[in-house]
Homo-oligomer: A and B are copies of this chain.
Amino acid sequence: MQSSIKTILDWYKEISLLEKVRALLDWDMNVNLPKNGSQGRGEQSSLIAQLVTERWLDKKFVAQLTNIDISALSAEEKAIVQSAKRLGKYYLRVPRELILKKASMTTNAFMIWAEAKKNNNFADFVSLLTSLVSIDKEIASYLSDGGDPYDALLDLYEPGLSGKTCKQVICSLQPTLSTFLEKIISSSVYKNKKPVTGVFTIEKQHELVHLMLKKMSYDLSSGCLHTSSHPFTTTLDRHDVRITTRYNEHDYREALTSTIHEAGHALYELGVDERYSYTPLEGGVSMAIHESQSRFWENQVGRNPAYLLHLLPFVKDILGYTIDHKSFVLQLNDVKRSFIRTEADELTYPLHIMLRFEIESELINEGASVRDLPQMWNEKMKKYLGVIPPNDREGVLQDVHWAYGAFGYFPSYALGNIYAAQFAFAMKKELNFDGLLQTGDTQPILDWLRVHIHRYGGRYLPEELIKKVTGSPLTSSHYLEYLKDKYSKIYETTL
C-alpha cells in the first residue's frame, strides 16, 4: 500500500471507532437510559458527533483523500478511497457553517415533531419543516454537480440512486400493486380469514424469538437481543452487532417478524470480511442493500408458507397457540389498506414509499409548499391505497424522518424489497429454496448470502453488486413475479 492509503486508513480508523462509540450512546439511549438522563446523553452524543465532523474536515485528511493518485492503486484500495470519499462527501463538499446550521436546526426537531404529532397539529411543524426544506436545497446545491437537487439528496443515502430510477422501479409498480390489493381484498379467502386472538406472554415470546435467532445462526457471542419501543440493529463492533425487538401481548407477530428482520440486518454486518474492519468498507454498502437483507429474512424466509410449515409446531409448543397452517400463513401474510408505513405489508409497502418519494421530489425539485403537504398526502393515499387517514397524526405526521431533514431517505426502504426479490431469484437457481425452508435448514441460504453479498461489505456499489450477483441491473420484475405467485396462491385468486 502507498503511504497515503495507510494515512487514510489510520485516520479513518479513528472516525470508525468514534462512530461505534456514538452507536453505543444511541443504543443505550433506546434500551436503558433512565428518563432524567436524556439531556446529558444529548450533550454526550453531540460532542462525539462534533469530533467525527472535525476528523472528516481535518485538512491533512482531506488533502490525502483529494490528492491520492487512484490509478496507482489496487482495485480494493480504489474501493477504499472511493468509499471514504462517498462517506465523507457531505463533510467535504458542504460548507462547514451549513453543516453546523443544519445540526443546530435539528437539535430540538424530535421534540417539535413529537409534540405536533401528539397534538395532531401539522401547523406546529410547518416552520421547522420549511427551514429544513430550504437548507436541504442549499445543501443539495453543493452536492448536485448540476443535476436535480433531489438526486443529490437521494445519493447521500443510497449511492447512485436517482429520481429517475425511483420512478422506474418503485412508482411503476403502482397500477399493478393497487390492482393486486383490490383483488386480494375481494377474495373469499381474505373475507374469511381469522384474526389473531389470545394472550401471548412476553416470556413465551422471548423464548420463541431466541429460538428464531438460533435457527438463523445469529450468534449471541457477537450480539444480543434487547427490547426497545422501535426495533433496530446497531453495530458497536465487527463482533458486537446488537438487535432489539418489541413485544405485543396480543399479537405474537410483532416480536417474531421484527426479530427476524433485525437479525437479517445483523447477519449482514456480521458477515463482512474481517479484513475490512475499521476501513470505509466495513459495513453494509447501502441502506437499500441492508434493507434487502432484513426484508429477505423477514419476508422471503420468515413469511414463506414452506418455512411457516416448519415453524408451526414450535409456535404451538412454545406459545401454546393452536392454529392450522393455512391460517398461520394468512396471519403472517395479511394485506391491508393501512395508514401507517411501518405497519404496511410487503405488497402495499412500495405504495407508501412512492407517495413519500413524490412529495419529497415536489418539495425539493419543484418548490411545492410545506403548507400543502397534508392535502398532497391525503390525495395520494386515496389514489394509491384507497383510504384517507382520519387525521395528520396517522398521515403526514407519522414519520420522524423529515424532522431531521432526511429528505431522500425513504426510497431505500422500498428498494430493499425489490433487491431482495432479485437476489432470491438468483439464489433459487442454485438452491432448492422451498425445500430447505420446509425442513427449516436455512444454513445454505445464509452461506449463499455470505458468499455473494455479506463478505463484500462496501466493496461494490449497489449497482455493481446487483449485476455481480444476479447478472442484471436492478429491476422490479422479480418482485412483481414473486408477489403475484405468492399472493395468488395464498388468497386463491388470479392476480
Contact = CB atoms under 8 A, between A and B. Distances in A.
B47 A221 contact: no
B221 A34 contact: yes
Contacts of A25: 21, 24
A338 B21 CA distance: 41
B37 A236 contact: yes
A224 B34 contact: yes
A40 B19 CA distance: 12
Contacts of A43: 17
A242 B33 CA distance: 10
Interface in A203-241: 219-224, 236-240
A223 B20 CA distance: 23
A222 B37 contact: yes
Contact of A36 (B14, B20, B37, B240): B240
Contact of A222 (B34, B219, B239, B242): B34
Give the number of times this chain occurs in the complex, counting copies: 2
Main secondary structure of the interface of A (DSSP, over half): helix
A20 B44 contact: yes
A427 interface: no
27 contacts: A17-B44, A18-B47, A20-B40, A21-B21, A21-B25, A24-B24, A24-B28, A33-B240, A34-B220, A34-B221, A34-B222, A34-B224, A34-B240, A35-B221, A36-B219, A36-B221, A36-B222, A36-B240, A37-B236, A37-B237, A37-B240, A39-B237, A40-B236, A40-B237, A40-B240, A41-B240, A51-B51
A266 to B, nearest CB: 11
Q: What are the 3 closest A-B residue pairs judged by CB atoms, nearest first? A: A40-B237, A37-B240, A36-B239
A17 B240 contact: no
A48 interface: yes
A37 B37 CA distance: 25
A32 interface: yes
Interface in A1-60: 14, 17-18, 20-21, 24-25, 28, 32-37, 39-41, 43-44, 47-48, 51
A126 B47 CA distance: 41
| Most interface-central of A20, A40, A219 (chain B CB within 10 A) | A40
A272 B32 CA distance: 23
Size category of the binding interface on chain A: 20 to 34
A34 B238 contact: no
Nearest to A223: B34
Nearest to A36: B239
Contacts of A41: 236-237, 240
Contacts of A219: 36
Interface in A315-362: none
Nearest to A41: B237
Given A34-B220, A222-B37, A224-B34, A47 B240 contact: no
Contacts of A242: 34
B224 A40 contact: no
Contacts of A33: 240
A14 B41 CA distance: 13
B34 A21 contact: no
A296 B405 CA distance: 52
